[in-house]
Amino acid sequence: MSAPAFDLQSHSLHSDGELSAARVVEHAAVAGVKLLALSDHDTVDGVDEALASGALHGVRVVPATEISAVDLPYEDLHVLGYGIDHRSRLLNERLLDARADRERRADAMATRLRELGFAVDRGPIEARKAAGKPVGRPHLAAAVLAHPANADRLAAEGHADVSSFIPAYLIQGKPGYVARTHPTVEDAIAWIHEAAGVAVWAHPFWDIGDERQVLEAIGRYRAAGLDGVEVFYATHTEDQALLLADRCAELGLLTTGSSDYHGPGHRLFSCFRAFDLYGREPNLGPITHGTLAAPVRGMDGLCVWLTGLSGSGKSTIGRLAAGQLRDLGHRVEVLDGDDVRQNLSADLGFSREDRDKNVNRLAWVSDLLSRNGVITFVAAVSPFRQPREAARARMGKRFLEVYVKASVEECERRDVKGLYRRARSGQIESFTGVSDPYEEPRSPELLIDTEQEAAEQSAAKLVALVEERLAQAAPVGATA
């Protein structure tokens, strides 16, 4: 199996990586990465630089950060935030506070190391503090390794690099370790959500070795709002990855992956795309779409995607349902296929490729609207399953597929525009139902047969579907 074309964890000089943010993106592009997250620890300072570099090198960059968190007895867990509003003042204040706790911890561990007889080169550490950059265990280890007074002892103990020194002295249970105090995992998830992001638990088996404890933690974090788990990771074994993938499938969680790139000179994490999917299909959900990664919190926005042949009644029943929902006080928009063709997709024809592009544009707009609390009806033929499924993956539970069914003969009988007649005479090429196929939905949320019921009945079913989904998503105890 070829290596994945995404890599959703990487680090720059803004935290503990070797390269500038722009250079991280350049190296990712050379390695064939198409979707990349720059996820520096407790900071988003490199995101804008990475986004600009991604535009130059053809890499979609997801704004991200990796928040170090505590969950006793686990004292150093990491929560990745994807698609965050990295310019959020509140998020940046919170990350600054987290870095301050890292500094306190770093100072305490430096003191511990000196008590253990190591000399610590303070220069680089103070320089990072002055620059507002986080100080972590890799920097402390480097400060010990760089001091000539430690050379003989380090050689005797076999510590030639940061990756060997940290597990010997700076992890939980080792003599130089000092625990963080905050944020908790629940805090980190909330910070990410409040910054409009998606929260994913990073490399579970890097921090917790026991399978039972990992699975139990996933359940607790999901209850706190966790959106996914980094299932496919550079150091995860096949058994570990498949265990996580199965649990995420049970709980409806996203499944992501990364090589945790830190730079070309890192002993463990030096190559992009250096992780295996073990035959499984990752579920990146909205993360796939980069800067539009965040699903809306609360389900007051929905996309009701009406698909069916031209003339089946999609626009008619969509507009009727939209009017009824507006009367009930909801924010509603209708994206009609003909209107979109005129205003958004006038440059497109009706080839398979252009039809897919049109559906992707519709999905982008309806995602944007539904993320912001608008009930959006899309009335478009959208004849092929794959683009519709891509729209579902983009919007997740906000997406409701409705198959508006009518036979070709009935649609042709209703055809006031004469489209079917022109298609049969050869004046219109690639016309769905005549010269092009229509792929019926396999499991739509609702099937409406407009040959068997009046438009008002069909619209009432749409309204009922929307109200049912909104009621399911409403907080417990909420009232209308």
Element holding 244 (H helix, E strand): helix 238-251
* CA-to-CA dists, residue 371 to 43, 226, 392, angstroms: 25, 18, 13
- DSSP single-letter state for residue 161: S
Instruction: Count CB-CB contacts under 10 A for residue 64.
Output: 28
Taking a C-beta distance cutoff of 8 angstroms, is the pair 204, 229 a contact?
A: yes
> Looking at 94-241, which runs of residues are DSSP E strands?
198-201, 228-233
Instruction: Count CB-CB contacts under 10 A for residue 447.
Output: 15
Rg (CA), the chain: 26
Alpha-carbon distance of 17 to 31, in angstroms, equals 17
Active site residue 382: yes
- DSSP single-letter state for residue 397: G
Structure tokens, 454: 């009046």
- Catalytic annotation, pick one of 312, 366, 382, 458: 382
Structure tokens, 35: 């979707």
* CA-to-CA dists, residue 432 to 13, 316, 351, 353, 437, angstroms: 53, 19, 11, 14, 6
Instruction: Count CB-CB contacts under 10 A for residue 387.
Output: 19
Structure tokens, 130: 């002055």
Taking a C-beta distance cutoff of 8 angstroms, is the pair 80, 66 a contact?
A: yes
Amino acid at 278: Y
Alpha-carbon distance of 413 to 330, in angstroms, equals 35
Q: Where are the alpha helices (DSSP H) in 372-449?
A: 385-395, 408-414, 419-424
Instruction: Count CB-CB contacts under 10 A for residue 300.
Output: 17
Taking a C-beta distance cutoff of 8 angstroms, is the pair 462, 317 a contact?
A: yes
Strand partners for 307: 403
Taking a C-beta distance cutoff of 8 angstroms, is the pair 382, 356 a contact?
A: no
Q: Which residues of 75-109 are buried (b: 16+ CB within 10 A; e: fewer)?
A: bbbbbbbbbbbbebeebbebbeebbebbbebbbeb
Q: Which residues of 409-436 are buried (b: 16+ CB within 10 A; e: fewer)?
A: ebbbeeeeeebbeebeeeebeebbbbeb
List residues with catalytic annotation.
Answer: 382
